[in-house]
């Protein structure tokens, strides 16, 4: 059952989401060759606890760490390891927090030094598809509009949309109804109404959409070993329109990049309608 949120609840989710955004921004400065996922995991846990929150993933369904760290061909749910990052790697980091009873949940795929142009393109297109999906989260549309917009944006590039893993509602629990697939038909799924809060999170593979799970029971990788990208925002439906609660601002600030699509989206969401 979908739990529609009050304005007060949405503000609490926004605070949790922004703490995740700040955590990712803090990590952005640390990601370089030689650094390990376990080092980032420790930094993130300390940062979250120092801000009066709890790591949202630690212990969730038995997950052993604060961050899901999924390099290169890993899609999501990677367990942090002591393998040092190398120049040319991409690293998807998914982070959740529990603050004042509400969850925030956000992901970003970082680059380690210079990456190949085709890999950078995968990241750019996946990030664009996130905003295309968010733009469809408006009153009168259905859940299927979101996934359709994402799928339509990435598949012409030959990319695969992971089927088995989806976005979700967010609130007092990390994963609520409805499920938000990154594929679908515009008229399908539940109608979108004010008070809905979703974590929208395209997981896009450079090649096949097919995935394999590691024997660790967590890590998901692409079946063909090609890279995969993951970007996630928390979004509330307010007055019929999507409002992005999380932000990539802290990441871009740390990396010295312009805010780009997110800034454009906040100023002119119509640009992203197809
Ligand atoms: Mg997430
Ligand atoms: Mg999520």
Query: Is-above-0.85 flag for pTM?
Result: yes
Q: Is residue 264 part of a domain?
A: yes
Residue located via tokens 């760290």:
69
pLDDT at position 264, please? 84
pLDDT at position 99, please? 98
pLDDT at position 86, please? 98
* Cα 169 to ligand 1 centroid, rounded to whole Å: 11
Count structural domains, the chain. Answer: 1
pLDDT at position 272, please? 63
* Cα 225 to ligand 1 centroid, rounded to whole Å: 22
Q: What is the tens place of the pLDDT at every residue in 215-268?
A: 999 999 999 999 999 999 999 999 999 999 999 999 999 999 888 788 888 887
pLDDT at position 273, please? 61
pLDDT at position 265, please? 84
Work out the angle at residue 199's Cα, subtended by the Cα atoms of residues 262 and 45, and round it to the nearest 5 degrees.
90
* Cα 137 to ligand 1 centroid, rounded to whole Å: 18
Q: Is residue 23 part of a domain?
A: yes
pLDDT at position 259, please? 80
* Cα 106 to ligand 1 centroid, rounded to whole Å: 5
* Cα 105 to ligand 2 centroid, rounded to whole Å: 5
Tell me which DSSP letter residue 78 carries: P
* Cα 207 to ligand 1 centroid, rounded to whole Å: 22
Q: If we measure between CA atoms, which residue out of 60, 137, 146 comes closest to residue 103?
A: 60
Tell me which DSSP letter residue 207 carries: S
* Cα 106 to ligand 2 centroid, rounded to whole Å: 6
Q: Is residue 201 part of a domain?
A: yes
CATH number at residue 95: 3.90.230.10
**Ligand nearest, relative to CA of residue 57:** 1
* Cα 268 to ligand 1 centroid, rounded to whole Å: 26
Q: Is residue 75 part of a domain?
A: yes
* Cα 79 to ligand 1 centroid, rounded to whole Å: 14
Sign of the alpha-carbon dihedral angle for 117, 84, 253, 269: positive
Q: Is residue 110 part of a domain?
A: yes
Q: Is residue 138 part of a domain?
A: yes
* Cα 68 to ligand 1 centroid, rounded to whole Å: 8
Residue located via tokens 């002119």:
268
Query: Which segments of the chain have a pLDDT < 50?
Result: none
Sign of the alpha-carbon dihedral angle for 26, 265, 7, 172: negative
Q: Is residue 200 part of a domain?
A: yes
Structural domain of 221: 7-273
Q: Is residue 1 part of a domain?
A: no
* Cα 226 to ligand 2 centroid, rounded to whole Å: 22
């Amino acid at each position: 059952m979908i739990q529609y949120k009050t304005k007060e609840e949405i503000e609490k989710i926004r605070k949790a989401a922004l703490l995740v955004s700040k955590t990712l921004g803090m990590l952005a400065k640390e990601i370089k060759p030689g650094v390990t996922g376990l080092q980032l995991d420790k930094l993130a846990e300390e940062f979250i606890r120092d801000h009066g929150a709890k790591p949202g993933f630690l212990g969730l369904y038995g997950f052993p760490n604060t961050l899901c760290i999924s390099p290169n061909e890993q899609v999501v749910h990677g367990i942090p390891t002591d393998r040092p990052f190398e120049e040319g790697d991409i690293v998807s980091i998914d982070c959740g927090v529990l603050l004042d009873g509400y969850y925030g949940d956000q992901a970003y795929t970082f680059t380690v030094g210079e990456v190949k142009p085709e890999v950078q393109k995968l990241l750019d297109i996946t990030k664009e598809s996130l905003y295309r999906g968010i733009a469809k989260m408006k009153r009168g549309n259905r859940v299927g509009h979101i996934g359709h917009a994402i799928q339509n944006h990435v598949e012409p590039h030959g990319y695969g949309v992971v089927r088995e893993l989806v976005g979700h509602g967010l609130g007092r629990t990390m994963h609520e109804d409805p499920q938000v697939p990154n594929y679908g038909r515009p008229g399908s799924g539940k109608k979108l109404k004010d008070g809905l809060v979703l974590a929208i999170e395209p997981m896009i593979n450079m090649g096949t959409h097919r995935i394999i799970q590691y024997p660790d029971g967590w890590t998901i990788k692409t079946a063909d070993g090609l890279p995969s990208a993951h970007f996630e925002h928390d979004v509330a439906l307010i007055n019929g329109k999507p409002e992005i609660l999380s932000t990539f601002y802290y990441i871009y600030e740390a990396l010295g990049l312009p805010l780009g699509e997110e800034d454009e989206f906040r100023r002119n969401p119509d640009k992203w309608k197809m």
